[in-house]
Structure 1
Amino acid sequence: MQTNISFPSQLNSSFGRILICLSFLICLATAAGAQALISRVQSPDGFTEAQFRLDKQGKLCYRLICDKRVIVNWSRLGIKTDGPSLDSLVSISASGQHRVEEKFPWPLGEDAVIENNYRGNTLHCSTATGTFDLVIRVYNGSLAFRYVCKRLPKRPVRLLAELTEVNLAGRHRIYQYHEESVFRSLLVDSLNGISDLPSTLVSDVPGYISIGEADNRNYTKCVLVHGRRPNSLAFHFYVDTIYRDQQVSSIRTDSVIMFRDSLISPWRTVSYSKTAIGLHNFSQLNLKLVSPSDHKVPLNVKPGKVFRVPINTQGALDGVDFASKMNFQYILIDAGWYGAEFRTISDPTKPIPGFELEQIIAHARQKGIGVILYVNYVGLKAKIDTLLPLYKKWGVSGIKFGFVDGGTQKGLTWLDTAMKKVNDYGFVLNVHDHYKPTGLSRRYPFVLSSEGIRGDENSPDAFHTTVLPFTRFLAGAADFTFCYPNKFNSYSKNVKVSKAQQLALTVIYFDPLQAIFWYGRSQDYQDDTEIAFFRYVPTVWDESRYMAGEIAEGISVARRKGSEWYLGSAAGLQPWKGKFRLGFLDKNKRYTATVYEDDGTGGIRTRTINVKYNDIYLVSLNGKDGQAVIIRPGH
């Protein structure tokens, strides 16, 4: 469908001036009444439809319909700058719709092959002083759009506000969080403050919404705040502001987000599912929305499990041996190896005295273990172009960024450049602390993991662990920094769930670079039977399915690597039961399942059962407990 309403740019005759006035009056009259749709885009399966029109003030609006149900009512779009006006429209046209059906291999993800099927359109928008495009994609269950303004004035333009709204149809609860905070479930109309992206909402009429972003390379961090209407959310700049007029009663806030030549926003995404487990269908949406730097399959990137070693030579050497024994792929040498990380005089080109890094790297190489070095943002900003060739010469395999600026335009722009540099050198990368992924691993495949999560360092409880799969993990991989108790240390400050749930979460949570035994010492783990599951569990998968679950109550996830399936189940604070069929198994094979579960006394017991295709599998867990299963083809 195509609509085109435009004014002549310049008419010199009286007749021309009359035509301009008539056209303007016609537009006003149209806007004053029921505005006709400018564009409607349906998903490939036809169950999701995004509609676009101008409201009475001539502002672009959208709404989202899923399975004939209005999910998002008419909501405004647009961006506000101190240059061209990019919100009040006088002319708009829709390009012809197009359909994309593609698959791309992704050996670093939850599925070895990702299907990227959508219908798209572009709205070419003109205002009195500027032009921009709204680029639209509609997937099964999801709407994605972004603002593209490629004709800015020669001077820098300040982005003042993003006007994107999400006016929800009906009453919803939001799982509010910020960076590494706890989650709070509250009504949208009770939202006071901010909620990070992605945010998950649950409606009174059963239904689940995820609001997120993709491809944020040089914009700024946006969060959700309460909007202008009841049951409404709006996008808000989190940190890129300065305060003026502080001597007067009304304090004015100005943006410091600047663009030259062009302004391209991240993708904004709104996804809907009838069920909580259906939200997993959108966990790879960010990857689909990011264009790769090249189309080569990233086969030279090595995912794996990570053991953090102490900052002393013998402890690190022992850690290498333990990693090898446990079938881990990396050791991590964390903060402190080159001195106090936040001090400018600490030099990440030189280990502290007595720490024999060269010897450790050589021993790790002999054992087939890679070495990942931590570097704080202070050292990275000062010396990244020196560090990368030096670390390559040393034989380092990866880098962990610490305390980067993941909020401001300046910080995100630096980070995008740094990720490219690390990727080009072939180092695996983990970006830690507050930064959350937006799909840029598709562009920089060596960027395997990031934090932006309340992991075991911050003592999450079973409510938190069973909210995460339906919220933060919809953005992509996360480094949970797993702790695991042993007979010398229970880590009671950090671990608030059972041992079996800790095992199960390594399946439930997706992370190609998964850190396990975070605070543990290699000599403390002597019960090989209890920790054997960690030796086997992969970190990337050929196929993944969410089998059963509800936010904050419990979850079961099945993932396949090769011919083996792994099943992880976790309960929230209360007992939880799950029931599903093993329809993912091969019809022509028999399987043996090794079950790791809590023994009721703080330990792990294992048992073996025989299973086959389409068997009914029952999970019954006490509060805070879990179960991990390896399903192998029988012999």
Structure 2
Amino acid sequence: MKSTVVSAIFFALSTCSAFVQKLIVQSPNQKINVALFSSQNNDVGAWYLKASYSDNEKISEAIPRIDLGLSRSDQDFSSELKFLKAGKPLLINEQYTALHGKKSVCTNSANEVTVSFENPSKAKLNIIIRAYNDGVAFRYGFPEKKGTFEMKDELTTYSVPNETMRWMEKWNPANEGLYTAMSDDKVQKQEWCYPVLFQLKDSSCWYLLHESDVNRTYCGSKLSNQVDASKYKITFPNPKDGRGMGSSTPTITLPWKSPWRVMIMGSLSDIVSSTLVDDVSSPSVVKNTDWIKPGLVSWNYWSSNHGTKDYKVVCEFADLAARMNWPYMLLDWEWDAMSNGGNIEDAAKYIVSKGVKPLIWYNSGGNHTWVSSTPKDRMLTHENRVEEFTKLKKMGFAGVKIDFFESEKQDMIKYYLDILEDAAQFEMLVYFHGCLVPRGWSRTYPNLMTYEGVRGAEWYNNGPEFTTTAPEHNTILPFTRNVVGPMDYTPVTFTNSQFPHLTSYGHELALSVLFESGLQHLADRPEGYLELPDAAKAFLKCVPNAWDETKLLEGYPGKDVLMARRKGDAWYIGGINAEIREKQKTLQFGFLPDKVKYKLTLIADGKHDKAFATKYQVVDKSSSVDVRMLRRGGFAASLVPIQ
């Protein structure tokens, strides 16, 4: 395939200057092309990319224009860039193992070309372009060897025709909003969170925009179409974020490379199964990873907001984890005020005595958050963390949940990564809460097990809204937020918290498969699980939360989703319905290997939304099984090979 890329680039460079197109980079499977164009039809001026997708010989112009450029404190790199050369095509081809996520064996395989420019003052800019089988990624680079500058602005702008359907979340620092579906005259002008999902009008292609490999040399960004509804510009953090602490514009030192700008592209199934955000990220810096173990977690906050203050409540949830064979239990906020029979040391001893590993919550601390909940500053500095991690290891704690970051400025990116590095030194798992959405860091720091960055079940405590919005929201997340990395929604609740569910028991059980998180916090009270019928309870005792393979079987954002995930030789399926009408689905098992029979355990909606209907059946690759989903209903299933 390397020769294909070479000839494509050679052809483009050999054409006369009247041609706008300068070069093409093609994916290894030849389905995705990314082309470089000159806005001025010559070698000097502004430049943009165009991304195309072809399937069954139909070529779709997925993103017609991606404007390029940077503005640095000393000079501009956008409107008068002179094309110097396109480097030799490079085949990127590596495999790596993920300890948790949607796939265990991942492949980073792409064709890459580096394009070199200079501005009128002869300062150099590189743009590194990659075409993958499931998308496009590009990044900027300043190759010169010295100099420190402020980055004033990034001019990367995605042009999206208004008729393109999109699912977008209005910007908020905690990334906990709902998604809005819109097109045509319904397109709103806002600042938007990552990731963003688009569907071409003719349904020939989907794509999802994100960024990855954000490190200490830059800030996190967002998208804004406030100036022009059809143009989504990469935008730096608001100066007011994090109580105004830190600069909203990053400072860079040369040589320098930006984060990757990522476009996952193809069918909806391609997007759901993609690991592109991790693929382009830096390889793991943690050498010994034997101690990093994903697993399910019992968690008391949802059912009892102040439960961690009560030693007896803590013990009940430790017992729950032990009885359900879940490896972890989380001690959430107010653990430092624990009473009613014991304190934090007593709780840790009790949890460990049950064969369960404790996790513990902290406020991120510092003046970037208004939240005064204690302990506040024990994660704030390297010295704080070393002291606290030392204590935690002695008490048997396996990891930390750190909350309230409230900013994606460069200083906060440094803080996130400092925490991960110190935690790895003490073999501590990390869960970020009240935070950004994943940027590929779980590949670089595999002890980063999960993030919140989602409107999850916690919102049943915050007001009546989530009761009605959750069913639809749940069917959007597998196509948006959970595509780009682990997501701690705190799912699978059968009883009610402050505000009730409208989702069925089958819907809730399905979330254990549909939502991926390296630490999956199951949020219900003990009786919510222990009083389940035997089949559902057994399912939750054995369902994995780190997967070897993921396949979308069927679905559409906001309507329904059916997904299959494999762990070892066993498969698990989750399906949910967002709509207020009953649906009949037919499960097809074409993803199973040939000549192997499986025992199917199907736990579906029963006669009403708080009942299950369970059936057992032998199936193989050629089988099909009908399953009924109630309004806002769902089902879960396991497929275990028969020896």
TM-score in same-fold range (> 0.5): yes
Give matches, 1:365-376, under 5 Å: 365-376=352-363
1:272 to 265, 271, 283: 265
**In the alignment, does 2:112 pair up with 1:134?**
no
SS in structure 2 at match of 1:573? coil
Q: Residues 100 and 117 of structure 1 are in contact (CA less than 8 Å); yes or no, is this contact kept in structure 2?
A: yes
Q: Residues 320 and 526 of structure 2 are in contact (CA less than 8 Å); yes or no, is this contact kept in structure 1?
A: no
- Give the direction of change, closer, same or farther, for the CA distance of 1:296–1:389 in structure 2 (3 Å limit): closer
Q: Deviations over 1:341-399 (max 9, x none)?
A: xxxxxxxxxx7796422232223223221110100111221522321222122221010
1:590 equivalent in structure 2:
597
Q: State which drifts further: 65-74 or 100-109.
A: 100-109
1:307 equivalent in structure 2:
298
1:43 to 22, 27, 33: 27
**In the alignment, does 2:528 pair up with 1:537?**
no
- The alpha-carbon deviation at position 296 of structure 1 amounts to 5.3
Kindly provide the amino acid, as one letter, of the partner of residue 625 in structure 1.
Answer: G
- The alpha-carbon deviation at position 317 of structure 1 amounts to 2.2
Kindly provide the amino acid, as one letter, of the partner of residue 319 in structure 1.
Answer: F
- The alpha-carbon deviation at position 583 of structure 1 amounts to 1.7
SS in structure 2 at match of 1:144? strand
2:115 equivalent in structure 1:
123
**In the alignment, does 2:592 pair up with 1:600?**
no
Q: State which drifts further: 169-178 or 464-473.
A: 169-178
2:565 equivalent in structure 1:
559
Q: Deviations over 1:487-541 (max 9, x none)?
A: xxx337153311111110110111121000x252468833352433211211111
Kindly provide the amino acid, as one letter, of the partner of residue 292 in structure 1.
Answer: P
Q: Residues 389 and 426 of structure 2 are in contact (CA less than 8 Å); yes or no, is this contact kept in structure 1?
A: yes
Tell me, which stretches of 5 or more residues in structure 2 are unaligned? 1-5, 11-15, 242-246, 301-306, 366-376, 460-465
TM-score by length of 1: 0.86
Give matches, 1:55-204, under 5 Å: 55-56=39-40, 58-67=45-54, 68-87=59-78, 88-129=80-121, 130-151=123-144, 154=147, 156-168=148-160, 171-177=163-169, 178=171, 179-187=175-183, 190-204=187-201
Distance in 2 of aligned mates of 1:299 and 1:614? 39
Give RMSD over aligned pairs: 2.6
- Give the direction of change, closer, same or farther, for the CA distance of 1:377–1:353 in structure 2 (3 Å limit): farther
- Give the direction of change, closer, same or farther, for the CA distance of 1:147–1:513 in structure 2 (3 Å limit): same
Q: Deviations over 1:595-618 (max 9, x none)?
A: 112223322232212211221243
Q: Residues 128 and 138 of structure 2 are in contact (CA less than 8 Å); yes or no, is this contact kept in structure 1?
A: yes
Distance in 2 of aligned mates of 1:448 and 1:83? 40
Tell me, which stretches of 5 or more residues in structure 1 are unaligned? 4-28, 243-253, 340-350
- The alpha-carbon deviation at position 561 of structure 1 amounts to 1.5
1:217 to 191, 215, 218: 215
Q: Residues 589 and 623 of structure 2 are in contact (CA less than 8 Å); yes or no, is this contact kept in structure 1?
A: yes
Q: Residues 483 and 494 of structure 1 are in contact (CA less than 8 Å); yes or no, is this contact kept in structure 2?
A: no
1:478 to 481, 487, 493: 487
1:337 to 330, 335, 338: 335
Q: Residues 174 and 188 of structure 1 are in contact (CA less than 8 Å); yes or no, is this contact kept in structure 2?
A: no
1:618 equivalent in structure 2:
626
Distance in 2 of aligned mates of 1:326 and 1:521? 10
How many pairs are equivalent? Answer: 580
- Give the direction of change, closer, same or farther, for the CA distance of 1:594–1:234 in structure 2 (3 Å limit): same
Distance in 1 of aligned mates of 2:490 and 2:66? 39
Q: Percentage identity across aligned positions?
A: 21
Give matches, 1:233-382, under 5 Å: 233-240=232-239, 256-273=249-266, 275-282=267-274, 284-294=275-285, 298-309=289-300, 310-311=307-308, 312-339=310-337, 355-378=342-365, 379=377, 380-381=379-380
Distance in 2 of aligned mates of 1:414 and 1:544? 32
SS in structure 2 at match of 1:407? coil
Q: Residues 504 and 628 of structure 1 are in contact (CA less than 8 Å); yes or no, is this contact kept in structure 2?
A: yes
Kindly provide the amino acid, as one letter, of the partner of residue 475 in structure 2.
Answer: T
Distance in 2 of aligned mates of 1:522 and 1:579? 33
TM-score by length of 2: 0.84
SS in structure 2 at match of 1:389? helix
Q: Residues 565 and 630 of structure 1 are in contact (CA less than 8 Å); yes or no, is this contact kept in structure 2?
A: yes
Q: Residues 84 and 152 of structure 1 are in contact (CA less than 8 Å); yes or no, is this contact kept in structure 2?
A: no
SS in structure 2 at match of 1:466? helix
Give matches, 1:509-528, under 5 Å: 509-516=515-522, 518-521=523-526, 525-527=530-532
Distance in 2 of aligned mates of 1:170 and 1:92? 35
SS in structure 2 at match of 1:461? helix
- The alpha-carbon deviation at position 428 of structure 1 amounts to 1.1
- The alpha-carbon deviation at position 558 of structure 1 amounts to 0.8
1:503 equivalent in structure 2:
509
1:571 to 566, 577, 581: 577
SS in structure 2 at match of 1:338? helix
Distance in 2 of aligned mates of 1:51 and 1:574? 44
Q: Deviations over 1:232-263 (max 9, x none)?
A: 32212232479xxxxxxxxxxx9532223444
Distance in 1 of aligned mates of 2:350 and 2:248? 51
Kindly provide the amino acid, as one letter, of the partner of residue 569 in structure 1.
Answer: G
2:373 equivalent in structure 1:
none
Kindly provide the amino acid, as one letter, of the partner of residue 527 in structure 1.
Answer: L
Q: Residues 236 and 249 of structure 2 are in contact (CA less than 8 Å); yes or no, is this contact kept in structure 1?
A: no
SS in structure 1 at match of 2:238? coil
- The alpha-carbon deviation at position 221 of structure 1 amounts to 2.6
Q: State which drifts further: 494-503 or 326-335.
A: 494-503
Q: Residues 483 and 495 of structure 1 are in contact (CA less than 8 Å); yes or no, is this contact kept in structure 2?
A: no
- Give the direction of change, closer, same or farther, for the CA distance of 1:229–1:321 in structure 2 (3 Å limit): closer
Q: Deviations over 1:391-425 (max 9, x none)?
A: 12222101001112442221111111111111222
Q: Deviations over 1:555-614 (max 9, x none)?
A: 111111122211100011244444452022232222221111222332223221221122
Distance in 2 of aligned mates of 1:256 and 1:61? 23
- The alpha-carbon deviation at position 482 of structure 1 amounts to 1.9
- Give the direction of change, closer, same or farther, for the CA distance of 1:519–1:615 in structure 2 (3 Å limit): closer
1:546 equivalent in structure 2:
552
SS in structure 2 at match of 1:321? helix
Q: Residues 318 and 522 of structure 1 are in contact (CA less than 8 Å); yes or no, is this contact kept in structure 2?
A: no
- Give the direction of change, closer, same or farther, for the CA distance of 1:295–1:396 in structure 2 (3 Å limit): closer
Q: Residues 134 and 271 of structure 2 are in contact (CA less than 8 Å); yes or no, is this contact kept in structure 1?
A: no
Distance in 2 of aligned mates of 1:303 and 1:520? 22
Distance in 1 of aligned mates of 2:52 and 2:226? 20
- The alpha-carbon deviation at position 483 of structure 1 amounts to 4.9
Distance in 2 of aligned mates of 1:523 and 1:165? 48
Q: Residues 286 and 444 of structure 2 are in contact (CA less than 8 Å); yes or no, is this contact kept in structure 1?
A: no
Give matches, 1:432-511, under 5 Å: 432-458=433-459, 459=466, 460-486=469-495, 490-491=496-497, 493=499, 495-511=501-517
